[in-house]
Amino acid sequence: MDKSSCNALGAFLVEIFDQATNDFIVEMARKHNHHVIWLGGNDRAQTGQWIWANSGIAVSTFDDWAAGQPDTGSSTEHCMELNIDRFNSHWNDDQCAHNQRFICQTYADEEFIG
């Protein structure tokens, strides 16, 4: 399994637009004892222009970057992670090729919630 596995599940890497969702994701990561997980943002198209990949929405109205992040680590860090330990549960940019945990998101269909 890697983060592209979300697509195989009909889902996508999680996108976070508000504090409540961010809190929920942090809690989920902690609960499962996963201390570094991929989130659904990247700046692969243009360095420094962070977007949520599935929706195509810019990371602008809400973010939770750690202090000094994203630092684009010598221009090699283009994927967004939640880092519980190293960055005190804030976001960091890291190299996309790293193999680490991830959280997929999908939409509840109407029948499920209805």
Return the residue nearest Ca ion (CB atom): 93
The nearer residue to Ca ion, 15 or 81, going by C-beta atoms, is 81
Out of 77, 80, 90, 91, the residue judged to bind Ca ion by CB under 5 A = 77
Task: Name the burial class of residue 35, with classes exposed (0-12), middle (13-18) and buried (19+) by CB atoms within 10 angstroms of its CB.
Answer: middle
State the minimum distance, in angstroms, from the CB of residue 73 to Ca ion: 5
Out of 71, 86, 95, 106, the residue judged to bind Ca ion by CB under 5 A = 71
State the minimum distance, in angstroms, from the CB of residue 5 to Ca ion: 24
Contact status: 92 vs Ca ion (CB under 5 A): yes
Contact status: 93 vs Ca ion (CB under 5 A): yes
Which spans of this chain sit near Ca ion (rule: CB under 5 A)? 69, 71, 73, 77, 92-93
